Structure 1
Amino acid sequence: MKLPQNKSVLIAISIALVITIWLLSGVFSPKEAKVGHSVSEDNIQKEVTVLVENQTAHDHADVIRLYGHTQSDREVEIKAETEGNISEVLVEKGTFVKQGDIIARINIDDRQRTLQSAQALVRQRQLEFEASRKLSQKSFRSQTKLAEAEALLNAAQAQLESARLDLEQTNIKAPFDGKLESRTVEVGDYVSKGSLIAKVVDLSPIVIQVEISENKISKIQDGQPAQALLNDGRTVHGIVRFVASTSDSSTRTYKIEIEGENPNNEISAGLTTQVRLEVGSQKAYRVSPAILTLSDEGVVGVKTVDNNNIVVFHPVNLLDDTPEGIWVSGLPDTARIILRGQEYVSAGQTVTTVTKDQLSNDQPAPAASLVQKQEN
């Protein structure tokens, strides 16, 4: 069955009209949606409210933090100065000794008789010398004979001193107050001159050694106060007693020694420590870590609001970390710091500000207000 010609034309026109309408709807609808979205975003941006607080910078100590370890003030290896068998051991390792305490004894053997013989020889030579001197004064003895008698007396006295010293060296003594860190001999051991007997370390004062970079060494002076925190929580207060004049050839760092009190030798050598050195002061703010933010380049900073309510990003330096907050530098002397809402705004954006006092008068919190607007 064939449709009339005029009816076919009518159908074609209808189809063309539908297609035209559909095409037109595709052209204008995205533009309208885009404009509406842009307007919505602009409204959100203009309505952002942030919590701010007016703060003033304070003088804060400029601190250098270094890591090091404790070490003894001095230590010495005690070696035998004479030979013989160990006859007695009086001190166990780990014991604290006083200067002059006897650690061990070497068998005397015939040293006492040698000493007595040397004493007798000295008395003999003394009498001979006195007789020669009197005869020389009366011209009955030549000056040569007098000099010979004097030489024999001096030799006998030297022999006596050697015998006395050899006998005394059988007592092995502590050279200073300290801890007997090790002892390598037992009763019956034979030792010769130079044999290692024991090792004594002095832990009072305790010494803390650290390394500092070349760009900070100029800030450190002898006698400068220092503070060290041990891993177990104990704190050592002391002073800088040594600053190296030359750097390590491999690390290009300088050695620093700090000495602190160590009552009862409670602090051992070899403990890891964190050293705190104050090298001046600078203007800084104590803030909560929560307000720190990152720039697009990954720089840590704090956002503030200027007098025109425009957001400003300030890169900051972390100076100190305390239980009450962190100290940062890099902000102006006075600043309107954003406490809440800093993550929702960017530098150069105009915002509405509210203070804590205004919030206490039933003002909405900035972050919550912003989230509600975005959801709507």
Structure 2
Amino acid sequence: MKLFPILTAVIVCVALYFVVLDRASLTNFAARFVPEPQSAPQSVAEDTAETGATDDTPSADVDAAEDDRIHVVVRRSEAQVTENAVLMRGRTEAMRLVNVASETSGRIISTPIRAGAFVEEGQVMCEIDPGTSQSALEEAQARLAEARARVPEAEARLPEARAMLAQAQAQLTSAEIDGNAASRLNESGFGSDTRAASAAAVLAAAEAGVESAAAGLQSAEAGLQSASASVRSAEAAVTRAEDAIADFTIYAPFSGLLETDTAELGALMQPGAICATIIQLDPIKLVGFVPEAQIDRVAMGARAGAELSSGQRVEGEVTFVSRSADDDTRTFRVEITVPNAELLIRDGQTADILVQTEGTPAHLLPSSALTLDDDGRLGVRSVVDGVVEFVEVQMIRDTPNGVLLTGLPDVADVITVGQEFVTAGVEVRTTYEELTQ
């Protein structure tokens, strides 16, 4: 066995011991062979006074050796306003999706339109055989004409009835005058009882004539009301017949794409049977669900963006924020309207959505600066007047350059190296990252 490698290993171990575990003794031993420093020029002394002792001077080494405070590296961080978007996962949803159904029964007599076709609002999609509905309409129209013809006849009876009533009232007035005269003459002895009785009979007949004329007027008015009612009834029958005919033609309620074929030629339709399914994709909605802790940060009209599962990115604005939480998930529905003129976005696609909110002052720090206190709270350790303090923080989000944190003052000296070796209240020596970089 060669002796030289063993001696070399022993010497290396001794050197490592003094360098790592007993650096003070090694420093004191080396200081004996360092010559006394010459007096520095005045300019150098002034620079030294301004900037402090440098690391390569013996006095600095001696001060560092005598200072038993733990040495940490800190970063002076200033808060900056940063966008704090609300992140949620959701899906696309058609603005409208309707199953257009039949309201009557009959067989389809129109050629079907195939799925995927674009239909305009008001375009015929399904047409049903009307059968005898046209005849029913014509019959109702004839009854309406008949009812309207009776109205002038009823109206013409009113003037005649009013004239008869006026004549009867005039006769009654004349009979009353004659009756009063005959009664006075009879009382004074100038008239006979027969004449008085005759005048009273004429008066009674006049009163009966007035009552009869009034009844005739009421009958004429009732006849006019009956004729008017017949007209309204006939008009309602015509409207029902027209609506029944209209139900045999099914139109597109809005412009959109057909998700299914329209009913096939010859198919028998019943009330409620589906003619076709139509979908509107322009504009389209992005639907997401926000936790109750963040719902107050989402406002109507806020800008939002999303990345679809296909990689496509879209932008829109918040048009609906639910006021009621889901009973199971305790989340709130949020809808974002996005233009889709080229119909490239489909219904039901998964989307990662970001809703823009008001800017928040935050500090950008390396994630390694984060630590936990004895109670398990997330925070950082900062240095204030040479003393360590623990500050609880809230993480906004992670970025490629670090994490964005809130909870710190506007300017803070945050420990980035050595924070795990100190606790709150401990005095430390600090070195700023800006001076060492």
What is the TM-score normalised by the length of structure 1?
0.70
CA offset at residue 225 of structure 1?
0.9
Query: Aligned pair 1:208/2:322, yes or no?
Result: no
Q: How many residues align?
A: 320
1:342–1:260 CA distance, 2 compared to 1 (3 A): farther
CA offset at residue 178 of structure 1?
3.1
CA offset at residue 92 of structure 1?
2.6
Structure 2 gaps of 5+ residues are: 1-16, 25-63, 162-215
* Contact 1:225–1:278, Cα closer than 8 Å, also in 2: yes
Query: Aligned pair 1:257/2:279, yes or no?
Result: no
1:87 alignment counterpart? 109
1:163 alignment counterpart? 241
Query: Aligned pair 1:133/2:155, yes or no?
Result: yes
2:345 to 267, 270, 280: 267
Distance 2:371 2:118 in 1: 55
2:210 alignment counterpart? none
Distance 1:240 1:47 in 2: 58
1:333 alignment counterpart? 410
Larger Rg: 2
1:172 to 240, 243, 250: 250
Structure 1 gaps of 5+ residues are: 1-33, 360-376
1:118 to 113, 135, 140: 140
1:284 alignment counterpart? 362
Distance 1:259 1:96 in 2: 24
Distance 2:319 2:364 in 1: 28
Distance 2:240 2:340 in 1: 40
Distance 2:146 2:295 in 1: 67
CA offset at residue 165 of structure 1?
1.2
Alpha-carbon RMSD: 3.8
1:76 to 92, 98, 101: 98
Percent of residue pairs bearing the same amino acid type: 22
- Structure with a larger share of its residues in strand: 1
* Contact 1:47–1:352, Cα closer than 8 Å, also in 2: no
1:364 alignment counterpart? none
1:106–1:38 CA distance, 2 compared to 1 (3 A): same
Distance 1:304 1:111 in 2: 87
1:90–1:135 CA distance, 2 compared to 1 (3 A): farther
Q: Secondary structure at the match of 2:259?
A: strand
Q: Secondary structure at the match of 1:182?
A: coil
* Contact 1:63–1:320, Cα closer than 8 Å, also in 2: no
1:238 to 296, 308, 317: 317
Distance 2:268 2:84 in 1: 59
Distance 2:338 2:348 in 1: 16
What is the TM-score normalised by the length of structure 2?
0.61
Distance 2:261 2:369 in 1: 57
1:54 to 52, 61, 76: 76
CA offset at residue 284 of structure 1?
0.7
Q: Secondary structure at the match of 2:346?
A: coil
* Contact 1:179–1:201, Cα closer than 8 Å, also in 2: yes
1:130–1:91 CA distance, 2 compared to 1 (3 A): farther
2:276 alignment counterpart? 198
1:151 alignment counterpart? 229
1:137–1:254 CA distance, 2 compared to 1 (3 A): farther
Question: What whole-Å deviation, never above 9, does each CA across 1:172-203 have from its counterpart, x for those lacking one?
Answer: 11222333333462111111222222223333
Query: Aligned pair 1:188/2:258, yes or no?
Result: no
Distance 2:107 2:363 in 1: 70
1:323–1:352 CA distance, 2 compared to 1 (3 A): closer
1:103 to 118, 121, 125: 125
Partner AA of 2:149 in structure 1: L
2:326 alignment counterpart? 248
CA offset at residue 275 of structure 1?
3.4
1:199–1:97 CA distance, 2 compared to 1 (3 A): same
- Structure with a larger share of its residues in helix: 2
Q: Secondary structure at the match of 2:428?
A: coil
